Amino acid sequence: MRPVLFLLLCCASLAQAADAVSVTSLTFVGKNGQGETLGPDELKMPLVHMANAKVAAKINDRLFFERFEVMAPEKPGKVLSAADHIVLDSIHGQDFSVTLDSPRVLTIAFDAEGCGAYCENYASYYSFDTRNGHLVTVDELLTPAGMRAVDTRMQKERVAKYKAQLAQLRTDLKASRKKRAPKTKVDLSDLEERIAMNEDCLATAAAKDQAPATEPLTFYAVELVDKAFHVYRSRCSNHASRALDDVGDVMLAMPYSEMRPYLTSYAKALLLNEGDTLPVNSPYGQMLRGSLGGSTAVTMLLYKPTDNALSGVYFYDKHRTPIRIQGTVHGNDLELTECDDKGIEVAKIKLANAAGHLQGHWTGKKEFSLELNP
């Protein structure tokens, strides 16, 4: 009986690892941040479906928070609206695509238009471990040596592209100077501006020590696709001079097999299906689920922008309204402050971190226990 039992357990484990994922599209109906009514297909948002509803909810909440700073609707309808607490402060329009749907990883890419002082398109990428809903970060996938290797290759790629662009521009400039057409002066001025900008970009790309040696990918966007990392470095030009930037964003495709010496054991489990290594439990950057007072369901998201500073937000799951918090961390002890809209302190939160599990108290007019887990 033991071999049969072992086989059944293995099959159950594989079924869990390969939980099928489907992604449907929700359309936002309403006005954008500039007060313009959006068309039926101008802003789309993915909704993830899985047999494990808790994992799907964790992924959906993380995506909705990243895009709109709200939790995903508990019972989404056919469309999204302001009734789902969505306020479009800066997003003007949005589409998405699933760029990786493997047994262990789901990657969703967003192509959005953001508007502030000006409007501009930008891309964002989010990858999730489908076994537990964990948002995968690049520092979990690559060793420090691997991040340095990517940074070195990106630096060389950018230098090569700017050099090639400068060579073409200088050839065009030489040809334009031989012309006697009326618009030659305009052509010359444009080419000279392009050359000056690319020379500056080349100097920046060629500079050493652009980023900390152990975390160079802070400057990059990383997309997980079938069999390769896609690493993006945004264009050199600012918005005012982007019309002069013919190089634009630079992308590297780096096969997982080629990067194998630089992959962590967790990355090998996710991307090469080698072993079952899970991510290290951390309270930072993940949706934390728990309870206040032992009975009130809450969700929290914490960021650690520096060694000691903390910022974040938490929600009462019933009301799903974001409550801002900020504070500090010293060792395993976290201390956070909740303030009202006028900046007046409402409550203190003190938590102890034990391998990602947070336990402590929320203290306002009353004191309640608080417990959270990734």
CATH topology of domain 287-373: Lipocalin (2.40.128)
Q: Which of 109, 110, 121 is nearest to 235 (CA)?
A: 121
Residue 14 is predicted with a pLDDT of 39
Distance from C-alpha of 58 to C-alpha of 293, rounded to nearest angstrom? 22
Phi/psi zone of residue 361: left (φ > 0), alpha (ψ -120 to 50 degrees), beta?
beta
pTM value surpassing 0.95 = no
What is the separation of C-alpha 319 from the centre of its chain, rounded to a whole number of angstroms? Answer: 26
Distance from C-alpha of 23 to C-alpha of 21, rounded to nearest angstrom? 7
168-221 tens-digit pLDDT: 999 988 888 887 655 566 678 889 999 999 999 999 888 865 544 455 677 789
Question: Looking at the predicted structure, is the pLDDT value of residue 9 above 50?
Answer: no
117-148 tens-digit pLDDT: 778 888 999 999 999 999 999 999 999 999 99
Residue 134 is predicted with a pLDDT of 96
Share of the chain above pLDDT 90, in %: 65
Q: Identify the residue with better confidence: 8 or 283.
A: 283
CATH 3.30.565.40 fits 2-136, yes or no: yes
Q: What is the mean pLDDT of the chain?
A: 88
* CA distances, 180 to each of 174, 177, 334 (Å): 13, 8, 71
Residue 110 is predicted with a pLDDT of 97
Give the length of the chain.
374
Question: Looking at the predicted structure, is the pLDDT value of residue 343 above 50?
Answer: yes
Residue 120 is predicted with a pLDDT of 84
Residue 216 is predicted with a pLDDT of 60
285-315 tens-digit pLDDT: 999 999 999 999 999 999 988 779 999 999 9
Residue 182 is predicted with a pLDDT of 57
